[in-house]
Copies of this chain bind each other. A is one copy, B any other.
Amino acid sequence: MPELLRALTERRAQRAFAPEPVSDELLGLLWQAVSLAPSHGNTQPTRILVPATAEQRKALDDALSEGNRGWATAAPVLAALASIPEHSKPAENRDGTLRELWAFNSGIALGNLMAQGTELGLIAHPMAGFDEPSVRAVFGVPGDVRILAVIAIGYPGDPSTLPPDLREKETAPRQRLPLDRLVVRGQWTEQHGESARGPGKRRG
C-alpha cells in the first residue's frame, strides 16, 4: 500500500489532543496545501480564518455546537474554512442549466489540507457543527462569504482523557461503503443510490 493511502487509512476523526502547540512552520505547510488545490478557472475561492487573540479563540470555541465544544476546545489550533461563491462562475450545461462549484472547490482544498496534516502526523478534524453567523462575526466576514468548516488541529493525545462516548467513537471500526457500491462500472443500479447510512437514512 502506498504511504499516503496508508496514512489516509490510519487517519481517523480523532478527538483527543495532546497539549503541545503546533509550530507556525507546520501550520504554514497546511495553508500551503490549501493554496495548491486546483479550482475551476483557478478562482481559488477558499480562505482560512485563524484567531489572532485569546478572545477571538474563545469566541470561535463558543460558535461550535455543544457536542463539538466537548472536545474541540482542547485543540491547540482552531481555524475556519471559508468559501467565496461570488468568485466562482458556475459551469454551464448545454441546456443552460448551471453547476455551482465553489463548495466543491473548497472541499478539494480541505482534502489537500487533511492529506498534508496526515503526512505531518497532525490531527486536522473538520467539523460541520457550528453557527455560521457567529463564526463570521468573530472575523468580520461579509455575509455573502460562506463558512464550510471549523477545523480542530493539533497532535494526537490520550483517548482516555475523552468522555466515554467519544472514547468509543475514537476506537470504533471505520464504516465505509464497499468499493462496488462506491464505483459504478457501466450502469448505475439502485444499490448505488442507497445511502451509506442505510435505506431509512435519506437526508439523515
Contact = CB atoms under 8 A, between A and B. Distances in A.
A22 to B, nearest CB: 14
Interface residues of A, number: 99
Interface in A1-58: 1-5, 8-9, 11, 13, 28-29, 31-38, 40-44, 46-53, 56
Contacts of A184: 47-50, 82, 139, 141
Contact of A101 (B37, B41, B46, B128): B128
A181 B95 CA distance: 37
B8 A116 contact: yes
Contact of A139 (B36, B110, B146, B187): B187
Given A8-B33, A35-B176, A108-B111, A182 B48 contact: yes
**Nearest 4 interchain pairs by C-beta:** A111-B111, A107-B107, A52-B186, A44-B196
Interface of A: 1-5, 8-9, 11, 13, 28-29, 31-38, 40-44, 46-53, 56, 82, 84, 86-89, 91, 93-95, 97, 99-101, 103-112, 114-116, 119-120, 126, 128-134, 139-142, 145-149, 175-177, 179, 182-188, 192-193, 195-197, 201-204
7 contacts: A4-B33, A48-B184, A56-B186, A87-B201, A95-B133, A103-B104, A112-B114
